[in-house]
Structure 1
Amino acid sequence: MEVELNSLISHFSNSLFKVKGVYHYTINPGTFHSQKTAPFPGFIFPLGGHARFNFNGSLYQVFPGRIIHGGAEMLLEKKVSKFQRWEYISVLYDIKDTLADGICLTESHFEISVGKNSKLSELLYKLWRTYQKPGPFPAFQTETLFRCVLEELFISSRGFNSEDSQVLFEEIVSYIHEHYMDSLSVRALAEQSGANENRLYYIFNKYSGMGPGDYLTTYRLNRAKELLVTENTPVGIIAKSVGYPDPLYFSRIFSKKFGLPPSGFREKFRNNPYNIQDCTIPT
């Protein structure tokens, strides 16, 4: 789900909240675990490795530089990458949500991208160590440090996200242009880029006016058009070369897009290729 950063900042500034737990975990590669989250909302700060989280059916790719917020008593599935250990610090907190702004953090899960931030990591380790200490003064320091962590989180996110969406879009588009002939899907693109599928839909609609699946299809079909009028290769081979191993399916979506089957398109435009117009997509 999406939470606008300034609204989140405003919500914290107008709410009473208190740290309920700070925990440091290291989990072995390939581990899968399903659980209900704690009775408090919290942030998950990745320190190393890569994991996939599923909050009530919403997928998140989690790695250093991408912070996840989870609500209270939610169904959570965690799958750690098989290549390295997964390390993170979680901070649970209790909050008296005002609800006046429509945000209820006890029922919200979302991600915040901050990029690599050594200062944030240092604050998190200090917060974790301080939380372990007994006495009223460490308890006071814990509350202060958590607010410092939130401040650094918000500052980093504001700086990171101003260029992040455009950069991510360009990276995925470049990947599509190089691998369109492979077996790609929106999920595969999301996993390859480390973004969740909802964010991909948002970014592609913002910069191309279509979803990532439609972009991939349009790019493939545009390349197929070029091959149909410049080569004598059979339609089935062309279909496979642009990512469609099933020639009947290729013919169906080609006809739906351009109003002609591939063979008819080749016959009409082979001797007049300059009349062909690509479907408009950023290139």
Structure 2
Amino acid sequence: MKIDINKLAEHFAQTSFQVEQVSRYSQEPGRFCNGYTEAFPGFVFPLRGEAEFVFNGTPYLLTPGNVVHGGANMKLDRKVIGNDRWEYLLIHYRLCIPEPPSFSLQKTHFQLSPGQSPRLMELLKLLWRLSRQPGGITAFQTETLFRRVLEELFICVRNQSNDGDQALFEQISNYIHEHYMDALTVRALAEQNDINENRLFYVFKKYTGMGPGNYLMAYRLNQAKDSLLASDAPIGEVATCVGYADALYFSRLFRKQFGVSPGEFRIKLRNNPYGFQDGSIHI
């Protein structure tokens, strides 16, 4: 079944639920189990290997990077595929109030493709550890962490889809606007958003005509122009404020972009604010 990730997230936001059980399983190649049912709906998060899960006759191929949801009391056939051990985390949850009549998680099975997200894996490992510990505070933390797992799952699925291109661009570009003065790199931006660098480049090229590295540089240099005109701070201080620790490197980038050094730009524009032409890229 194809699922709309935004509608699914909205459904979870409006539905009261709680974790029923978190289990980790490991099975040898060739193992299979038929006719298995569960009293609660749940998510299967593959950790290693490959398997086929068949919910009410609908097959799903499960590998790391794919997640499947099964409804309650559904006929489930399982088979380990290939020569590797099959490992997965199974999270069952209980719905605490009746669901809206338009959609029921209790009766729905579907697959999601978040890709291989290191952050999602870390959250799942932490959820597994917390779920094994007793105590009321730990139980509360387990419930909270399960919601973080779902949030990360939904974001990763959205980011992997073409429909999420604009949302992904806005999310990352807004982050750049707020943190341009920090030591940002293209790799770090990609990892932070659980995507690879090629996808990050594709999304920025699609919406800006330039890669994420050039976008970051252009935004920093435009901020530097404002700083140069707003104060008499030394060039090195301006460079640091826009994310460049090396003032000489900053000056070379500035001259290449605008045709003059930062110092010359400040003097010329202050002396003749309407006569200076530059090749800036305004973002």
TM-score (norm 2): 0.56
Decide whether the 8 Å contact of 2:15 with 2:99 is kept in 1: no
Could you tell me which residue of structure 2 aligns to residue 119 of structure 1?
Answer: 119
Could you tell me which residue of structure 1 aligns to residue 75 of structure 2?
Answer: 75
| Unmatched tracts of structure 2, length 5 or more | 165-283
Bigger CA drift: 10-19 or 81-90?
Answer: 81-90
Could you tell me which residue of structure 2 aligns to residue 46 of structure 1?
Answer: 46
1:163/1:62 CA distance change after superposition, 3 Å: farther
Deviation at 1:53, TM superposition (A): 1.0
| Unmatched tracts of structure 1, length 5 or more | 165-283
Q: Deviations over 1:46-88 (max 9, x none)?
A: 0110111111110111100100000111110111013111110
Could you tell me which residue of structure 2 aligns to residue 8 of structure 1?
Answer: 8
Decide whether the 8 Å contact of 1:52 with 1:60 is kept in 2: yes
Decide whether the 8 Å contact of 2:47 with 2:87 is kept in 1: yes
Deviation at 1:162, TM superposition (A): 1.9
Q: Distance in 2 between matches of 1:6 and 1:145?
A: 20
Could you tell me which residue of structure 1 aligns to residue 135 of structure 2?
Answer: 135
Match runs of 1:235-250 below 5 Å? none
Q: Distance in 2 between matches of 1:53 and 1:91?
A: 15
1:59/1:97 CA distance change after superposition, 3 Å: farther
Name the Cα RMSD after superposition.
1.5
1:32/1:45 CA distance change after superposition, 3 Å: same
Deviation at 1:3, TM superposition (A): 2.0
Could you tell me which residue of structure 1 aligns to residue 24 of structure 2?
Answer: 24
Identity over aligned pairs, percent:
45
Could you tell me which residue of structure 2 aligns to residue 85 of structure 1?
Answer: 85
1:138/1:111 CA distance change after superposition, 3 Å: same
Deviation at 1:2, TM superposition (A): 2.1
Decide whether the 8 Å contact of 1:11 with 1:101 is kept in 2: no
Deviation at 1:103, TM superposition (A): 1.3
Amino acid at match of 1:36: Y
Decide whether the 8 Å contact of 1:37 with 1:71 is kept in 2: no
Q: Distance in 2 between matches of 1:82 and 1:97?
A: 41
SS of the residue corresponding to residue 29 of structure 1 reads coil
Spell out structure 1 runs of 4+ moving beyond 4 A: none
Decide whether the 8 Å contact of 2:18 with 2:96 is kept in 1: no
Match runs of 1:206-217 below 5 Å? none
Deviation at 1:123, TM superposition (A): 0.5
Aligned residues: 164
